[in-house]
Structure 1
């Protein structure tokens, strides 16, 4: 029997969970039809989900259609829980993208499409609510082809049970070789169509109504006909996509087995064993002794696993692209602060994107979040699971820093009986690329184990910029030379030298005005009545935003404005829109990434950050003379380094020009 793992993703309220329910009902997995609005959906089994009527956590279900077995992973639809959704994508064979026939392609749907491309996930598209007044399948298909990909193809079968001539032609033109064969033969084999789908050249589009179960049988038949099972590796491997705790407090590590076979009591990570293997179907599970390649299960017995981790032969998933942009401080409201910290650390174990941090000196817990809905859910989770009634102080924008030119930083660490020197080349990276580390140093100059110490040390903590002390991003950091001492170099010396080299290079670039503060920006979609357009345009201009497009709706009574604006300015605008439109308008937004701050001078002034006073991140170097260590300030470092600088100012300028 063919087996695939598929996940359902969608913009909130597109009908994602209703589609899951319809598929499970049609396949015979469930006998009772549940509904999101009634709080009895099979996969929304958490009390919080039933209360709020939205999917907050990813859930697993099993169904069978003919000779196809499907592991179905339902994912959160609200943008505030996008981190949980993204964690699921690397374990999918196929994704089902749900699009509402009446809502077009919202910004978050385009974000989902981008993420599916990033993880190379083949996609089936379900156009939901096709029975709604005004729904036009042809117009929706044209919009999908325009905004997502030209390979979006109507897979509605003819009376003969075959794809239409138009569908075959649209599929064929996505690949030159296939098109040549199609022009000769006049048709395409199922195997060829399967390959085009698997290669993300063709995206089957199905139309129906999940609530009325219209088109569900045809969609299941399409999954059965057009999917291919994943090729399994011979050696054992598994990828973690979720951490949870059951009602008894047992820690569960959810994995997709990518190769070999996972067995109960198998040593999987260090000396930790998979004590139990649980295959979940909704909130119930079955204990199994083995899980073959391609299977999904939850394991007990692990304490340090994390989402995205590769086990065995499997590699770690890429760092998630969707990151929180707001930071909040927890107000314990009279509860013991350490009890709050214990609870928050357990929640951070399940969702590392919370980035829970603890300041001993301030006795303060801070957390990073995507938005107000996630904050409300977090507050409720602390109350329900830990009996902690807490609040959170108004959030602040999570700024970042980067560079706009190439520079070389040097760090030296030589207190008595210690020695290490490191030189790093710092170069701007592409927006959204994060931090990339590499080395061009030969092993004759610096042995491999010392190079490894430098690179791992740079990644061991969150490195901060020198303008406001915000995390750095979008940089390529290259080890270009270094020196150690067989006699005096010990474990932490290269760590200290590497950290100081990075900070010293940033200080030099800042002195040359080549460091910038970044802030998160929203892509927004504002729907208002036509007489409110002037007010909205003035507001967006006031918020330092830009309008990319203005479009009247089909009825002519509403206008849709799309564009970008800083999160710092627009995050509280939703309530304002509700007020001045008397509830008739709506504002949707999704984080579009980081861009230069619109008010950088103000942000820097208000931060009052002094990089030379940050004792945890010093930019100076340490030398020794006459049996005593002394510190050299960052601007004097070039004159005191033992190794010459690798690059001249002219060479660094040339690198910048090449960017």
Structure 2
């Protein structure tokens, strides 16, 4: 008799780790992910980034460029636990992929280069994880590189990230002689021999014994300072046991009061197994996380991470594949089975789950069900987007969606052949669906289709996807930055009466508003009207009208940001007042107020970190000054210098090739967003007269 092998039951939420790999570009995230998959038996042959053979960098552009562009989910098993792992991009242009991933992760491994330490994007993703409250451990990678130094990297973690590094390992050897680590908790050596994929455990080498004892003591003292129970034991015995250290390190990690630091070389496959053990020991399981909070019918509700709770999940990624549309879900509560109907918490629309897949990058394994704590992909959902809450039909709930950054660079795109215009529109719509940080709009003045994103590389990748993935030849205009306008000096007591009478019911709305600068990004609205002169529903309509007016400022038609509008007074008519009338009044009132206010132009700026040989410093500084850059720091190393400057994004187009030319190809640079800054008057005059 022939039997069908059923997939194993999902593990308990306590035996699951939902883990992200975070780092600056080229710190070794993808190589580390590949070695984790190899160590856990999920793959049987190690791939290499430079060969384009890694599991998670499966997209053709990722393999051509040698960088991670799209967050990729994989799954593996270690010591009886299921590890769901997301390899995130390290380039600043794809930080929105990191944001969506962090929204659904329980823990993360932050990877640092043992030579460079904390790099700009490392700091950015660390701050993103802080905002989401994601516990982290650190892995100092590339200890086999020339110039690698664990202590220097740890010092940069302490200084730049403002956290307490708790180092639990000591390297055995350095650079080419790096062969293993000393485990300071168990006071043993883990050594990897050349050509071997496994390590041997032994005694701490004699030359390192005294140093290991000293570092163990430093670890105990640091933990005792941060943990009350550990301090009590330390005062009583002048030492901490391994059990106490493990417990305290886990609690400190979960609270974010410290970060456990391990080290190794992913490329040489050294330090991977201890890192996996640390993931299980210190990072939380879904059961350790608090109940997820959402809203239903205007009230706050919670769902515990329990398979018996009503089903609740958040869609965080959507991709179109040859086999259908995949919607990636983090299941927070309950259980969903193949064939179940699920409800969109926001719209109330119900759809059927056709298939449930455990994802291995571009490969998938069918499952019958997914339970609380799982990260899976489902087939069959046609309308769900990134940020959509899916729930049991009888138990609606809406979770807070991942935030989406505003795009800063735009290009005009059009089909080379007029016959492909429809296909281009469909391709752009699919791109925006898969990547919410890409915005497609039509320019009302030129009629051109404008594609906006987070940077030049982001847009290059999107355009290449249109050409390669959708087979549409496109013509692309020169990149343009997204300028903004802001209020420098506002107005008070601006009165606007909206009266319209054209037969039948008329429109009447009377509003009085104050406009002033606001330090926060975006827009704040408040109402100080008393006595019911403007009912609450009409005040909300005034706010909606003000938001309409923010789309175009008085200087150059750019969006307006950084202002506060206060509704101070108003009046209604018993028959002719309506929400529509007050929305129109709010729109016209703010437009008039902006025309009377002092408004200035803002431009996006970036923090640029340039690494150049010492003999190229002068030329680089001159070039940065010509690009309106303001140098904030310059440090010299062994033969190289690191220059940090704030530069307008508009001046950075083509900088990569210019830097290579000035440094004979030896200079490199990285950028990260640094907000908005006023445009100098002479530059603004040129921009506004184009």
Fold equivalence (TM over 0.5): yes
More displaced stretch, 197-206 vs 39-48:
39-48
Q: Is the 8 A contact 1:412 1:500 kept in 2?
A: no
Among residues 176, 179, 204, which one is paired with 2:260 in the alignment? Answer: 204
Among residues 328, 351, 360, which one is paired with 1:254 in the alignment? Answer: 328
Quote the offset at 1:303 in angstroms.
4.2
Alpha carbons of structure 1 residues 541 and 206: separation in structure 2 relative to 1, 3 Å: same
- The correspondence of residues 514-529 of structure 1 with structure 2, limited to 5 A, is 515-529=599-613
Among residues 524, 543, 566, which one is paired with 2:627 in the alignment? Answer: 543
Matches of 2:366 and 2:336, distance apart in 1: 13
In structure 1, the gaps of 5 or more residues are 610-659
Matches of 1:364 and 1:325, distance apart in 2: 18
Tell me the equivalent position of 1:11: 24
Among residues 519, 544, 565, which one is paired with 1:430 in the alignment? Answer: 519
Q: What secondary structure sits across from 2:644 in the alignment?
A: strand
Quote the offset at 1:127 in angstroms.
1.1
Matches of 1:77 and 1:23, distance apart in 2: 18
In structure 2, the gaps of 5 or more residues are 1-13, 170-182, 189-214, 292-302, 305-309, 391-395
Q: What secondary structure sits across from 1:307 in the alignment?
A: coil
Matches of 1:107 and 1:316, distance apart in 2: 28
Quote the offset at 1:286 in angstroms.
3.3
Quote the offset at 1:137 in angstroms.
0.9
Q: Is the 8 A contact 1:543 1:566 kept in 2?
A: yes
Quote the offset at 1:171 in angstroms.
3.6
- The correspondence of residues 197-276 of structure 1 with structure 2, limited to 5 A, is 197-229=253-285, 230-232=289-291, 233-234=303-304, 236-248=311-323, 250-264=324-338, 265-269=340-344, 270-276=348-354
Q: Is the 8 A contact 1:243 1:254 kept in 2?
A: yes
Matches of 2:481 and 2:60, distance apart in 1: 31
Alpha carbons of structure 1 residues 93 and 437: separation in structure 2 relative to 1, 3 Å: farther
Q: Is the 8 A contact 1:544 1:566 kept in 2?
A: yes
Tell me the equivalent position of 1:366: 450
Quote the offset at 1:395 in angstroms.
1.0
Alpha carbons of structure 1 residues 412 and 425: separation in structure 2 relative to 1, 3 Å: same
Tell me the equivalent position of 1:142: 155
Q: Is the 8 A contact 1:61 1:282 kept in 2?
A: yes
More displaced stretch, 295-304 vs 210-219:
295-304
Matches of 1:495 and 1:280, distance apart in 2: 47
Tell me the equivalent position of 1:158: 184
- The correspondence of residues 256-335 of structure 1 with structure 2, limited to 5 A, is 256-264=330-338, 265-269=340-344, 270-276=348-354, 277-311=356-390, 312-317=396-401, 319-320=403-404, 322-335=405-418
Correspondence 1:602 to 2:654: no
Alpha carbons of structure 1 residues 16 and 268: separation in structure 2 relative to 1, 3 Å: same
Q: Is the 8 A contact 2:491 2:593 kept in 1?
A: yes
Q: Is the 8 A contact 2:550 2:561 kept in 1?
A: no
Post-superposition Cα deviations, 1:41-100, rounded to whole Å, max 9, x if no partner, equal 111222322232221111111122214322111112222222222221111111221111
Q: Is the 8 A contact 2:90 2:121 kept in 1?
A: no
- The correspondence of residues 493-642 of structure 1 with structure 2, limited to 5 A, is 493-510=581-598, 515-553=599-637, 555=638, 557-597=639-679, 599-608=680-689
Quote the offset at 1:552 in angstroms.
1.3
Alpha carbons of structure 1 residues 274 and 403: separation in structure 2 relative to 1, 3 Å: farther
Matches of 1:57 and 1:461, distance apart in 2: 35
Quote the offset at 1:457 in angstroms.
4.9
Tell me the equivalent position of 1:388: 472
Matches of 1:34 and 1:149, distance apart in 2: 35
Alpha carbons of structure 1 residues 289 and 461: separation in structure 2 relative to 1, 3 Å: farther
Quote the offset at 1:462 in angstroms.
5.8
More displaced stretch, 480-489 vs 349-358:
480-489
Alpha carbons of structure 1 residues 531 and 43: separation in structure 2 relative to 1, 3 Å: closer
Post-superposition Cα deviations, 1:483-524, rounded to whole Å, max 9, x if no partner, equal 4444223452232122223222322322xxxx2211111111
Post-superposition Cα deviations, 1:579-614, rounded to whole Å, max 9, x if no partner, equal 1211112222222111222x24432453249xxxxx
Alpha carbons of structure 1 residues 285 and 473: separation in structure 2 relative to 1, 3 Å: same
Aligned residues: 599
Tell me the equivalent position of 2:193: none
Among residues 49, 66, 91, which one is paired with 2:104 in the alignment? Answer: 91
Please report the RMSD computed on the Cα atoms of aligned residues, expressed in angstroms.
2.7
